[in-house]
Amino acid sequence: MKQYLQIIVVVVIIGLPIFLSVYPWQPKMYGYLAEQFYSPYGRFGRTFARKLMIYQGQEGTEWVGRQITLGERMLEVGCGSGSLTRIVLDRQISAYAFDSQIKTLLMCIEASDVIVEDTHEKFTIEEANLQMIFRRANFTILRPRKREYNVLYSYDVIHTMHSLKKNLKVMTQLLLKGGLAYICYRHPDKFPYDAIYEAGAKNGLYKNWAIADVEAAMKKQGYLEIDHVSTEDDVCVFGQYKKPKEKKKEAEEE
C-alpha cells in the first residue's frame, strides 16, 4: 500500500506540471480573475484577495500619491489594496498638523466587502475612527445627496468603467464647487498590462480609455483647467469643477 502511495505521489509531482503546461487552463483562470475584479461583489477569500492585489501590482501608487493635491475633505474611489490610501492619508495628516482646529477626513469607498475588511486592518484604530472612514459601496450606483469633498481621486479603476459620462457625473455630484478631481490609471499606451487585463478586455469587461477621451468627458461635466501628468507607466488626468463661490467681503456688506 505504501509503495502505491509513493508511486501516486511521484506521478502527480512529475505529471502535474506537464499537464498544466499543455492544458489550456490559463485563459480560463485569468478570465475568472478578471471577472472577480470587475464584479463589485467578487466571492474570493481574504488571503486570495490579498494575493490578487499584489499580483496586479499598482506599482505606480507612490508616484500617483504625490500628484494629488491635498484637501480637508477627500474621497478615494476604489481603495483596492490600501497602498494609495496610506500614502495620501499620511500626507494629509502631515499637511494639516499645524492647526488642531482643522478636522481632516479621508473617505474611502470600495465595492468589495472582502477587500474593505482586509484594507481596514492596515490602519490604526485612531486613524480609522478620527481621520478616515471606510465604506463598502458600489460607486456606479451611488446617488449623492450633497457636495461635500474638496478633492476626489481614483487609481486603477477607470478600466472597469464602460460609461465615463455616467461615472464622472456621480463624481461631480460629490465635489464642492472649486473641488479637484483626479482620474489616475495605468498608461493607455501599455494596455493590456498583464494577463488578467488581457482576459478582461477579451471578455468585454475592461476598457482602455485614451487620455483625450477622459479629458473630453471631464470638460463636458463642467471641469475647468483640465490637464494631465504622466510617466511611462501611469497617467493622472485632473481638473477643477467650476469655480468656487466667492464670499462677499464683510467690508462690502457694511
Domain harbouring 184, CATH code: 3.40.50.150
Q: What is the pLDDT of residue 197?
A: 84
Q: What range defines the domain where residue 168 resides? A: 53-241
Once rounded to an integer, what is the mean pLDDT over residues 38-52? 54
Q: CA 56 from chain center: how many Å?
A: 12
Does residue 214 lie within any of the structural domains? yes
Once rounded to an integer, what is the mean pLDDT over residues 127-156? 83
Residues with Cβ within 8 Å of 17's Cβ and at least 6 positions away in sequence, in order, are none
- The band of 254, judged by pLDDT with boundaries at 50, 70 and 90, is very low
Residue 152 has pLDDT above 90, yes or no: yes
The Cα 76–Cα 91 span in angstroms is 14
User: Which is higher by pLDDT, 50 or 245?
Assistant: 245
How many independent structural domains does the chain possess? 1
Share of the chain above pLDDT 70, in %: 68
Does residue 35 lie within any of the structural domains? no
Pinpoint the alpha helices (H) of 132-210: 164-174, 195-202
Share of the chain above pLDDT 90, in %: 38
**Lowest-pLDDT range of 44-58, 78-92, 170-184:** 44-58
The Cα 218–Cα 30 span in angstroms is 32
Q: What is the pLDDT of residue 124?
A: 75
Q: What is the pLDDT of residue 22?
A: 47
Does residue 204 lie within any of the structural domains? yes
Residues β-bridged to residue 238? 182, 227
Residue 182 has pLDDT above 90, yes or no: yes
Mean pLDDT, the chain, integer: 79
* φ and ψ at residue 98, rounded to 5 degrees: -70, -20
Q: What is the pLDDT of residue 140?
A: 73
Q: What is the pLDDT of residue 120?
A: 65
Side chain identity at residue 84, one-letter code: L
Does residue 27 lie within any of the structural domains? no
* C-beta separation of 179 from 150 below 8 A: yes
Does residue 26 lie within any of the structural domains? no
Closest CA to 29 of 44, 11, 14: 44
Beta strands in the chain (DSSP E): 73-77, 105-110, 132-136, 149-155, 175-186, 223-230, 234-241
- The band of 119, judged by pLDDT with boundaries at 50, 70 and 90, is low
Does residue 6 lie within any of the structural domains? no
* C-beta separation of 53 from 116 below 8 A: no
Q: Apex CA 62: angle with CA 79 and CA 167, to 5°? A: 40
User: pTM higher than 0.75 for the full model?
Assistant: yes
Q: What is the pLDDT of residue 243?
A: 78
Side chain identity at residue 92, one-letter code: Q
* C-beta separation of 211 from 234 below 8 A: no
Report residue 4 as a C-alpha cell: 502505491
